[in-house]
Amino acid sequence: MARDLSERRSEIVYRWDLDKTYLRTEFDTLRDLVRTAFEPASRKRSFPGAGTLLREIRATEPAAIFILSGSPEQMRGVLEAKLRLDGIRWDGFTLKPSLRNLVRGKFRFLRDQVSYKLTALLRSRTNVAPDTDEILFGDDAEGDAFIYSLYADIVAGRVDQELLMKVAEEAQVYPDDIPDLVRIAARVPRGDTVRRIFIHLERVSSASKFSDFGRRVCPFYNYFQPALVLLEDGALDAQAVLRVGADLVVAHTFNPEVLVASFDDLRRRGYLSKRVVDRVSAVSQSIEPSTFGQASGPLLALVRAMEAARQELPEEVEVDAVREDYLTLFARDRARAKAAKRRALWTRDDA
């Protein structure tokens, strides 16, 4: 059963990726990389609803919000400027030391995400209280679902040193980096504390491609969906979710059918229970034009659709972890990511 986080919001750490999770970033070609490197903060675009959701999360006064990005350290100034423009406040910001590794001749490090992100996550975990819950946001462009799940199960004590070393070798982590990774993993206090892993389907991958990661991983198509799941888990309240929905309607021209379809998709995939409907219904009287403006009609339509579907929802949601061994998962997820990249490039070439 999903743990209700309503009374633990101040003990949650959120970890967010940036590229393709928060920011619309292209990095599939050398031209993409150069353009991204020189693009000013004012030109960078975030995904609809991402900023609103992140600001609502900050309003819950969590233990911390950490940004973990694969962008090079040299982009810190422009990325921080973009987040400030969006009104985002964070507690830690880790960027990839690409230049330092290039100087050392580690050219493969540019594309490596496993050792970089996994080491950064584990190192950060050693600096928070052992019982701190975590909620992670990533995307389907690289291997975030795999890396985050592996991290969660290392922390939970379900991945031992031998398996970690095998995964590192399979991921072609530089041999001299593996001992450091293993040492950091050994120092992390053990606890089953990663509650959710949200994966933005920026590549428009099929959500079913992530079923082997279990329902702890929640693939999503738009930011109204993680808002609903966070409401299910008690990490957000219903008013916050309605504000995310209102932002999508007013600022990004989402129509009522999109909001309802977002709810229905999560319902069919088993991420929502009657609890989420009850929590939204309890505040439905507050949905008025004086509060939500032109979004009030679409939001009321959403509430009616949710209430009509309530009987089809379970009393509670089961949140399970990975359903495969990590070596099999790695090979399968790497193939998925490569196929998604090819599909994205073909789509751009045809446009």
Beta pairing partners, 64? 13
CB-facing half-sphere around the CA of 107: CA atoms within 13 A:
0
**DSSP label at 194?**
E
- Is residue 57 within 8 Å of 244, Cβ to Cβ? no
Does residue 340 fall inside a structural domain? yes
Largest CA distance in the chain: 62
Does residue 190 fall inside a structural domain? yes
- Is residue 71 within 8 Å of 23, Cβ to Cβ? no
- Domain that includes residue 313, residue range: 10-346
Does residue 227 fall inside a structural domain? yes
68 three-state secondary structure:
strand
**DSSP label at 46?**
B
215 Cβ contact list (under 8 Å, min separation 6):
270, 271, 317, 318, 319, 320
Does residue 351 fall inside a structural domain? no
**Which tokens hold the place of 286?**
């507050």
- Cα separation of 250 and 305, whole Å? 20
- Look at the chain and report how many structural domains it folds into: 1
Average pLDDT, 10 consecutive residues per value, the chain (351 residues):
88 96 71 57 90 98 94 88 96 77 47 82 94 96 92 96 94 88 94 97 86 96 98 98 97 94 97 98 96 96 97 95 91 85 62 49
pLDDT at residue 24, as a whole number: 87
Does residue 5 fall inside a structural domain? no
- Is residue 316 within 8 Å of 273, Cβ to Cβ? yes
**DSSP label at 222?**
S
Beta pairing partners, 15? 66, 136
Beta pairing partners, 135? 14, 196
Residue indicated by tokens 């053990």:
190
pLDDT at residue 31, as a whole number: 57
Does residue 4 fall inside a structural domain? no
- Is residue 207 within 8 Å of 34, Cβ to Cβ? no
- Cα separation of 319 and 34, whole Å? 41
- Cα separation of 177 and 273, whole Å? 43
Residue type for position 135: I
pLDDT at residue 241, as a whole number: 98
Does residue 3 fall inside a structural domain? no
